[in-house]
Amino acid sequence: MRRIIPILISTFLLASCTTQKSLYSWGNYESASYNYLKNSNEKSTQELIEAYQKIIKKQKGTRGVVPPGIYADYGFLLLQINKTEEGKAMLMKEITLYPESKVFIDRILKMAEK
C-alpha cells in the first residue's frame, strides 16, 4: 500500500495536467441554453442558434469534432421554428457522427411528423 499511494498521487497529478485542454469548445453555449430555457422567445432562440453554429463551425476542442448532442439539439430547434428540412439534415448528421443517437432521434422524427 505504501508504494501504491505515491503512484496513485502522481498519476492523479499527471492526469490533472493533461486535462487542461477540453475535448470540445462550447463558447457561450451554457448561458445561451439557460436563456432559451427560461424565455424561449425570438431573441433567445436566435442567440442559441448562433451558439450552436459557432460550436459547429469554430470547433477548437482536442477531438476536433462537434460535441455530442449539438447537431441534434440544433436540428430539433430548427424543426420547432418550421425549418423542417434543415432540421432533419442536422438530426441525420448527429446519427452519422454519433450512431448511439439513432434510437431517440428516430423517435423525435416520428413525433415531428404527427
Q: Which is nearer to another protein, 43 or 96 (CB)?
A: 43
Residues that bind another protein (CB under 8 A): 1, 5, 7-9, 11-12, 15-16, 18-19, 22-24, 26-38, 43-44, 47, 62-63, 67-70, 72-73, 76-77, 94, 98, 100-105, 107-108, 111
Residue with smaller CB distance to another protein, 18 or 82: 18
The alpha helices in 19-82, defined as continuous H runs, are 29-39, 42-57, 70-80
**Nearer residue to another protein within complex by CB, 103 or 113:** 103
Q: How far is the CB of 92 from another protein (least distance, A)?
A: 14
The least distance separating another protein from the CB of residue 85, rounded to whole angstroms, comes to 18
Neighbours of 32 (CB within 10 A): 21
Secondary-structure breakdown of the chain: helix, strand, coil percentages, each rounded to the nearest 5: 70, 0, 30
**Do residues 75 and 88 lie in contact, with contact meaning Cβ atoms separated by under 8 Å?**
yes
Any idea what DSSP says for residue 66? Answer: P
